[in-house]
Structure 1
Amino acid sequence: MSLRLLLTAAAPLALIAAHPALAAAPAAAPSVPPAATTSADADDGIILVTARHRAETSQAVPISLSVLDAAHIDRTGAFNIDRVQQLTPTLQFYSQNPRNTSLNIRGLGATLGLTNDGIEPGVGVYVDDVYYARPASATFDFLDVERVEVLRGPQGTLYGKNTTAGAINITTRPPSFDFTARGEASVGNEGFYQFKGAVSGPLSDKVAVRLAISSTNRDGNVLNAHTGKEINGQNNIGGRGQILWKPSDSVRITLAADYNRQNPDCCGFVYVRVGETQRAQNRQFNALAQTAGYTPPSTNPFARIADLDTPLRALNEVGGVSLKAVVDTGIGTVTSVTAWRFWHWDPSNDRDYTGLPVTTVSQNPSQQHQVSQELRLTHEGKTLDFTVGLFGFDQVVRTEGSQVQGSAASKWLLAPSASPTNCYNTNCLDGLSSTNSIGLRNDSVALYGQLTWKPTGSFSIQPGVRVNYDYKNGYYSSVVTNAAGAPVQFATAPAVNTSAQLSQLSQLAPENFNAIYSAWNVSYDVTASYAFNRDIHGYASYAHTFKSGGINLNGVPAAANGAPLLQFASIKPENEDHFEVGIKTQWLGRRLTINADAFRTEIHNYQALVNNGQQSALRGYVDSAPFVRVQGAEWDITLRPSPRFNAYFNGAYNDAKYIRFPAAPCPPELSGGTAVAAGQTAAPAGVPGLSPVSCDISGQRLPGISKLALSFGGEANLPVTLLSHAGEFYAGVDGNYRSSFSSNSSPSAYTWVNGYTLTNVRAGFRTEHGFDIYGWVRNAFNVGYYQQLLVGPGSTGLIVGQLGDPRTYGVTARFVL
């Protein structure tokens, strides 16, 4: 039986099981937690979560996690995961554009840089128990969210898809049988406006509905000097609908559908600096620009001026339908989640990052569809709790991309020559095109479970296991043609390529290959926890897990004759050993919460992004670093001495290194020259000459990870009566700090992002009955900072940057009925 047939068949079986006539006698009413609160907002210090698929207090769960409720998300303006990372130091979010998005926890999860659709993320994103396969989903605004739980460390024995680095568990507000409505409107500088609304109520005594919409718009905050238009704005719209059928107290069936669309003029990078490489001086950026008569419009990145001649487009659509059935039986709660989702991506990028027509087209439109089915049983008992689940997943990816070189390509990308017929002088790269076809079929099935045995009222031990099978079948095809439309191919004996063809093939090379990856894997973990008293809980855990292998769908290195090196086509799975100890404490009548943990993760065959040497467009593939280690400590401290004041101070220290990576790609200062041969010595960094074939970066920092990250803030309020309405004036501040981090897979002197601190403030008035109006300022001190630095293509030394937002300000008003 095929996986797709299995998934299709499982849904009606789950509904049959859910039928009240077949369900066991109803147990107690379903345990559905109220909206969880952050520590900063809780009056009694109790935060309810469903991280283990049952309602329990966060302090008693032996998992390192952070929880944000809707109120805290709204008040801090954290309406997407990019903003949530400013409140959660252990979370890292990087997004060159929606497709090239990396979502990491403790620095692990996805390669920093170009996304590869054949490689799976290590951080799972779940919305109402539905797994979102592609990281592009993480770029959208939250829609009618009740709470966000960030679970740190491996979670594969608890969740459908294996999540080696952690999981982001998002819960939306459910339909209610009482009429409720809420609305919110925000306006700000840079043309910012945002609207959110939701309404819920009964259709009958057994059926309730909920509808929610959201819209966010903002002008760009970077000027494209080539067009005179602002770029990097926001243009988001989304909607979600749910129908709840509750035929009895023990049965709940929810049908949900959602759609989200982004269509901004995005995503552009600004000139940051030029770093010396080992290319000949006349082929480095400054000399090339002089030859072309080109001057960047600004060499001050924080003037926020880009120069891009290719139209920018980042049309991003996601959506889907899910059916969730929850049945409380005599032995536990049975949950079935059936879902279909799609992702459509239609981009246009400027991959030479200049106003010159070097690369005039660079785009990889993609259509992806997934079907998933999860069936789970959760039991709670006096001495024994358990969760056991079966998960199936089927994904299809289709991508049709293209790249076209422009009239400036030959002189920018090729070595000068005195020969009048040389390709440099005949401009043979003008109109050179590559058309890429990429496809993937990704199937996965898993049986997972976790058992909690409580031999005493204070001690529990929790083993878990996961058996997983992955199958991936992918293909990559690239066809290269010249300006006349004739194929450009590697010659086969006895024919030889002309000098023009060799020049063209050095920039865009045809390639065609199929690859299959399949493997069974077993994960397991064990956690021991002890309650010293009501308010002090400790735990220790060990996990042996894996991140699925995959297929390189951005192309692979090729031999001199153009034949793809198929040993790079499929990628080994990561093997991970994870150790963690933690303690969760509350003091002063639960007014003070102090939680801390220490962890160490060792990874063999770490999936790292490397550059394949193409010069005209930066393309990468994934290879395995032999051994990586990540270790550190985290803490969450919250204080609420009275209802009039709360404060928090959270932090993460992370020491993340390549322990062994002797044959890594070299940074730009050790790239671009003639490859060193046996007996030769490479030139010093940044000096033209011989370049090493590879570099030993053992002991150096993993990309994207700050050694120290902090978030801190607080809020104070004063009760008042305003216009006969009882309420409170309040003022709050939220800040976050990140120390410096490497922005390149092989650390480079040119791509370190300096540490920075961001500060957000707010002040307003809210009533006891759900009305709230306040003013806000984000990045109040207008700190200039980079989200990411990139190495421009071709070893020219160009470094470009993605800027963080400048100071923004505005007003928000909301109501709840």
Structure 2
Amino acid sequence: MNGLLRGALLGTTILTTALIGLPAAHAETADAPAADTVAADAAAPAQDSQTSVGTGARDRGSDIVVTARRRQESSQSVPLAISVVGGDHIDSTGAFNVGRLQQLTPTLQYYSSNPRNTAVNIRGLGAPFGLTNDGIEQGVGIYVDDVYNSRVASATFDFLDVKQVEVLRGPQGTLYGKNTTAGAINITTNQPTFDFEGKAEVSVGNYNFKQAKAAVSGPLSDTLAVRVAMSTTSRRGTIYNVTTDQWIQSQDNLGLRGQLLWKPIDTLEVTLAGDFSNQDANCCGSVYVRTGATQRPLNRQFAALAAAQGYAPPSTNAFDRLTDLDTPLQAKNKIGGASLRVKWDVGGGTLTSVTAWRFWDWNPSNDRDFTGLPIVALSQNPSQQDQYTQELRYNYSSDKIDFVVGAFGFYQRIDTQGTESQGSASSLWNIAPSNALSKDPSVLNGLVAYNTQYLKNSSAALYGQLSWHITPELTIQPGVRLNYDKKEGFYQRTVFDGQGNPVLLTGPTSARKTAQLAIYTPQQIAPEFSDWNFSYDFNASYKITPDVLVYATYAKSFKSGGINLNGVPTDASNNPILAAATVKPESVHNYEAGIKTQFWDRKATFNLSIYRTDIGNYQANVNNGQYGVLRGYLANAQKVRVQGVEADFSIRPSERFNAYANGAYTDAKYKKFVDAPCPPELSGGTVATGTQTPAAAGTPGLSPANCDISGQRLPGVSKWSLSFGAEANTPVKLLGKDGQVYVGYDGSYRSNFSSNPSPSAYTWVAGYSLHNFRAGFRTDDGFNLYGWVRNAFDQHYFEQLFVGPGNTGLIAGLPGDPRTWGFTVSSSF
């Protein structure tokens, strides 16, 4: 895929890298040492947000510059919790997308079984853990150059020509276009320049890893400048499929970005930008991990069902990285768009307009039975999205007050066409062995469900935030937001048997039809939701000294109500329970306090924040045990509480050494969720009614209708997460060039977490640590050559575990990347 483009880009990049390794007036640092990570505000001293420390003569008293409050300012003066990662450090640590970024920012969580089913959370909050539902809002906003990206799928793409990434923690609705209850990821790319500059980079490594990046910027006239950037990444997969004789979980990414800057006068900037990214990986699969006892009859649990068909997984050791999935895997993912940004200095402030259109085209194919048996023969839900946004805001700054006022409009249309079908092994697997139909493959073979659904999502908001400097030391900062949301959805499932005859809820009944309806049930709903919401926050900060800032914040926020677009549960007559078609808005109360300090002549930075977030009507993604009836839907948990502490430290005693350590403790619990879906060990049996007593966990018999999981941990959240690293360098002269030889290290740790919406004994992911090293030579004029190794100790760990369908006790998983190593050469001019 993309072979011609990839070959051209790779060849151009190699040639450019070879030719431009010479001094130039606008050299950029190609590799940032560890302290440029400044995770969680540990703002390592740096000249600006792009320069890296320890690569030459830098002013130790300078700070990282951020735009978290829609204006440029030192991160240490911003009274909120924010992590800043420089673009050069992103490159040097191999953090080429948001998923890798979580190793550098401890309170960021990223989970992805494929680009569509991706969640990005901050402090354990954001999107419900589990299968994606188009009818939900993302609690973490992802912005690229002020443009909101509504699909988390954008987080799976390679970073392209990034200047820096800011991770803002806590509600951000009074400063950003779309309301975000958990935080925002603000990605800033390098902008067009009126001085000619460029950068090229090539990396090669094991698993046939190849990556090339190039960016060029310069003037077209006195008032017009252009910047073009490209990247391509390919890598062989890390899991071997013995059925198809292919490696899966590969990488095949292509990214393009172009920007045109028109600056007719000093007070006016107009930027037209366009981008396109494409993924075509052999992805996404899983491996067998284990089985766990459920409450299904023993002859309907995994061991007996597999034995009845003479089946055994290719390996019972997940880290043999073997699978036998028999459904063709596909994860074709395209995303892109265009934006027009106008910035006009007027009336003592800056007026900014951002107009944008974005698209997303998703074309998958999955194996939803997680085995090599032809049970689920096909599972795919291609989707197409168009998104339009318009934001208008005015920023004003003076000695006494700063303020931002803005308006935001959003429209999104998503269309999905799903196909799910059963295979020749389905009857024996899904129908009780006591039923003679289980021996007849034709009952379920070829049974197919076609899903048609769409979402129309509209939102409009007015927001504002005022900073009043009562004294040079004391500032109070109130903010408000008025928001309107409307969602209109449609979901239709039609079912046909293997002979092409419709399977209907009405009409004559038969044992054959009953068995088919137990797998796929026709359904049609048209859920709608609309609501107004007012939210606000209040922040007070005080500078005890010029280098010590304390602050406290209260925010009353919300997440818009949702609609279920994957279907809803049914009653005893197989009719949809329409009350479950909509989900109430979340009500969020966030309390936070912190201190930001620099000392030792600003050679050291220490920041500390504590917080508590209380959520009513928390939107949880819950799962159903049947194959095709319903995989996942939204429901409201009554109360959730998240609280924690975040501490961050960085030090740079000299230009030759810097280090950082960032840690977070997160206590995230369901305070009240009395009617949650049960974990697999309490599922699969006949549902208990009245005074009947359910069987013990993992014992065949009666199962509870639902479970009280109050007090248990939210899924995907580690109590402890850490990131740490250091870099040292020494000046040398090599190849006739003055520069430094350097060695760097970045490590991370996270404790165990639950990988199921309702915590299960079978789906706890054990804690793990990852260790990355690099060593190389760089020059002051922008040349850099280094080797790297990631997951150096080949740590075995899971990114996610999955509960197999049907309550058979099957647990599948996605192993994290093994040890990878390679070399990178880059040059800037």
- For residue 399 of structure 1, give the secondary structure of its aligned residue in structure 2: strand
AA of the residue aligned to 1:812: T
Unaligned runs of 5+ in 1: 1-32
1:738-777: CA deviation from partner (whole Å, max 9, x where unpaired): 0000000000000000000000000000000000000000
Cα offset, 1:376, TM superposition: 0.4
Q: Distance between the aligned counterparts of 2:502 and 2:486, measured in 1?
A: 34
Bigger relative contact order, structure 1 or 2 (CA pairs below 8 A, ≥6 apart): 2
Distance in 1 (alpha carbons) for counterparts of 2:762 and 2:442: 32
CA contact (8 A) 1:265 1:312 kept: yes
Counterpart residue identity of residue 455, structure 1 = I
Describe how 1:334-413 pairs up with structure 2 within 5 A.
334-413=351-430
Mean CA deviation greater in 262-271 or 618-627:
618-627
**What SS class does the counterpart of residue 503 from structure 1 fall into?**
helix
Q: Which amino acid aligns with 1:734?
A: D
Q: 1:776 aligns with which of 780, 788, 791?
A: 788
Aligned ranges 1:528-547 → 2 under 5 Å: 528-547=540-559
Q: Equivalents in 1 of 2:61, 2:306: separation in Å? A: 64
**Structure 1 CA distance, aligned partners of 2:783 and 2:307?**
60
- Correspondent of 1:172 among 189, 207, 227: 189
CA distance in 1, matches of 2:435, 2:263: 81
Residue aligning to 1:465: 480
Structure 2: distance between partners of 1:502 and 1:613: 17
Residues 110 and 120, structure 2, Cα contact 8 Å, conserved in 1: yes
1:437 alignment partner in structure 2: 452
Residue 661 of structure 2 corresponds to which residue in structure 1?
A: 649
Query: What is the total number of aligned residue pairs between the two structures?
Result: 780
Conserved 8 A contact 1:417-1:424: no
Instruction: Report the alpha carbon displacement of residue 561 of structure 1 after superposing the two structures with TM.
Output: 2.1
* Residue equivalent to 1:416: 433
Q: Map 1:785-800 to 2 at 5 A.
A: 785-800=797-812
C-alpha distance in structure 2 between counterparts of 1:648 and 1:564, whole Å: 54
Q: In 1, Cα distance between the equivalents of 2:627 and 2:338?
A: 42
Question: 2:567, 2:630 within 8 Å by CA — same for their partners in 1?
Answer: no
Find the aligned partners of 2:230 and 2:606 in 1 and give their Cα distance: 37
Alpha-carbon distance in 1 for matches of 2:821, 2:381: 36
Deviations 1:510-564 (Å, cap 9, x if unpaired)?
0001011000001100000000011000000000000111110111001222221
SS of residue paired to 1:72? helix
Q: 1:613 Cα shift? A: 3.8
Runs of 4+ in 1 over 2 A off after TM superposition: 33-45, 422-427, 612-618
Instruction: Tell me, yes or no, if structure 1 residue 602 matches structure 2 residue 624.
Output: no
Are the structure 2 counterparts of residues 418 and 489 from structure 1 closer, same or farther at C-alpha, using a change threshold of 3 Å? Answer: closer
- The match for 1:612 among 599, 621, 624 is 624
Aligned equivalents of 1:761 and 1:225: distance in 2?
33
Q: 2:822 and 2:438 mapped to 1: Cα distance?
A: 55
Q: CA deviation at 1:95?
A: 0.4
Post-superposition CA distance 1:87-126 (Å, at most 9, x none): 0000000000000000000000001110001101100000
> What residue number does 1:751 align with?
763
Distance 1:616 1:232 in 2: 25
Contact map agreement 1:40 1:648 (CA 8 A) in 2? no
- Stretches of structure 2 lacking an aligned partner (at least 5 in a row): 1-46
- Output aligned runs, 1:313-324, within 5 Å: 313-324=330-341
Aligned residue type for 2:193 = S
SS in 2 for 1:263: strand
For 2:323 and 2:530, how far apart are their aligned partners in 1?
44
One-letter amino acid of the structure 2 residue matched with residue 429 of structure 1: L
Q: Hey, what's the Cα distance between the residues in 2 that align with 1:792 and 1:67?
A: 38
Name the CA shift for 1:157/1:568 in 2 (closer, same or farther; >3 Å).
same
Which deviates the most, 359-368 or 64-73? Answer: 64-73
Quote the residue 1:677 is aligned against.
689
Question: Within 1, Cα distance between the matches of 2:481 and 2:50?
Answer: 29
Rounded to whole Å, the distance in 1 between the matches of 2:716 and 2:663 is 16
Per the TM alignment, residue 426 of structure 1 is displaced from its structure 2 partner at its CA by 5.5
How far does residue 424 in structure 1 lie from its aligned partner after superposition?
4.5
Counterpart residue identity of residue 686, structure 2: T
What is the aligned-residue identity percentage? 59
Partner amino acid for 1:136? A
Q: Following the alignment from structure 1 to structure 2, what is the Cα–Cα distance between the partners of residues 181 and 530?
A: 42
Query: Root-mean-square deviation (CA), in Å?
Result: 1.2
CA distance in structure 2 between the partners assigned to 1:555 and 1:156 by the alignment = 30
- Aligned mate of 2:570, from 558, 566, 581: 558
- Given the alignment of the two structures, is residue 486 of structure 1 paired with residue 501 of structure 2, yes or no? yes
Asked whether the equivalents of residues 424 and 441 of structure 2 are also in contact (C-alpha less than 8 Å), the reply is: no
Residue pairs, 1:306-317, within 5 angstroms: 306-317=323-334
Q: 2:173 aligns with which of 156, 174, 196?
A: 156
In the alignment, is the contact (CA less than 8 A) between 1:334 and 1:375 conserved in 2?
yes
1:228, distance to aligned residue in structure 2 (A)? 1.3
SS at 2:527 equivalent: strand
Matched, 1:689 2:707: no
Find the partner of 1:291 among 308, 317, 320: 308
TM-score for both structures, normalised by structure 1: 0.94
In 2: Cα distance, 1:228 partner to 1:40 partner:
48
| Separation in structure 1 between the aligned mates of residue 130 and residue 80 of structure 2, nearest angstrom | 29
> Residues 429-487 of structure 1: CA distance to partner in whole angstroms, max 9, x if unpaired?
11100000010100000000000001100000000000000010000000000011111
Tell me how far apart the structure 2 counterparts of residues 196 and 690 of structure 1 sit (CA, whole Å).
58
* In 2: Cα distance, 1:374 partner to 1:45 partner: 32
Cα distance in 2 between the residues matched to 1:793 and 1:214: 38
Name the CA distance, whole Å, in 2 between partners of 1:457 and 1:39: 30
Q: Which amino acid aligns with 2:774?
A: R
Cα distance in 2 for partners of 1:212, 1:124 equals 24
CA distance in 2, matches of 1:424, 1:569: 37
Q: Shift in Å at residue 340 of structure 1?
A: 0.3
- Name the CA distance, whole Å, in 2 between partners of 1:485 and 1:508: 14
**1:113 maps onto 2:130 in alignment:** yes
The partner residue of 1:763 within 775, 790, 796 is: 775
Cα deviation digits, residues 169-190 of structure 1 (max 9, x gap):
0000000000001000000000
Scaled by the length of structure 2, the TM-score of the pair is 0.93
**1:262 maps to 2:274:** no
- Secondary structure of 2:76's aligned partner: coil
Residues 18-417 of structure 1 correspond to what in structure 2 (within 5 A)?
Answer: 34-36=48-50, 43-417=60-434
Distance 1:501 1:617, change over 3 A: closer
Contact 2:432–2:438 (Cα < 8 Å) also in 1: no
Quick check: 1:352–1:616 contact (8 Å CA) kept in 2? no
Corresponding residue of 1:706: 718
What is the DSSP-based 3-state SS (H/G/I as helix, E as strand, rest coil) of the residue aligned with 2:306?
helix
Structure 1's 423 and 781: CA in aligned 2 closer, same or farther, altered over 3 A? Answer: closer
